[in-house]
Amino acid sequence: MPSSLSSLEDQVVRILARYPKPRSAAMPILHLIQETQGFISKEAMEWVAARLDLQPAQILELVTFYPMFRQHPVGRNHLKICRTLPCALMGAESLRDHLLRKLGVKLDETTPDGRFTVSEVECLACCGSAPVLMVNDDLHENITPEKLEQILAACL
């Protein structure tokens, strides 16, 4: 068992205690792994499968079904632009292109300094203040190119 995963054992035990069947704990454990490791590796999926008496394919099914799970590391600041219709009508697409041009990356690529990764996500439930952008877990509303500059400057 990879040592970084075994350090999660206590938390995994607590999560398992919340469910009648171990299988039900798969989602929260995957979230825990992504939070602590940054992404969900193959080793992590194997570990979760063995820990829950599931087969590896059953874990990959979850990880590939839910877009919020990722199998690759991202930069320190994960910029998530909404791609759903209200944001698109309010200019999210040109904002996205602007951001990618400025950082010199493609979607889901990380800048060479490891600072930024840009991804598209589904609705962030703030259509009234479109377009919106999330930086890691922080939501930013009514984004304009100027506002974007300030947000990027504030990112470490």
Residue ranges that bind another protein, judged by CB under 8 A: 42, 45-46, 53-61, 64-65, 67
Structural contact between residues 43 and 6, judged by C-beta atoms closer than 8 angstroms: no
Nearer to another protein by Cβ, of 63 and 133: the residue is 63
What's the closest the beta carbon of residue 58 comes to another protein, in angstroms?
Answer: 6
Sheet (strand 77-82) strand order = 116-121, 77-82, 133-135, 138-140
How many Å apart are CA 40 and CA 22, to the nearest integer?
A: 19
Nearer to another protein by Cβ, of 35 and 61: the residue is 61
- Both tokens of 68, joined, read 């919020």
What's the closest the beta carbon of residue 156 comes to another protein, in angstroms?
Answer: 33
What's the closest the beta carbon of residue 28 comes to another protein, in angstroms?
Answer: 20
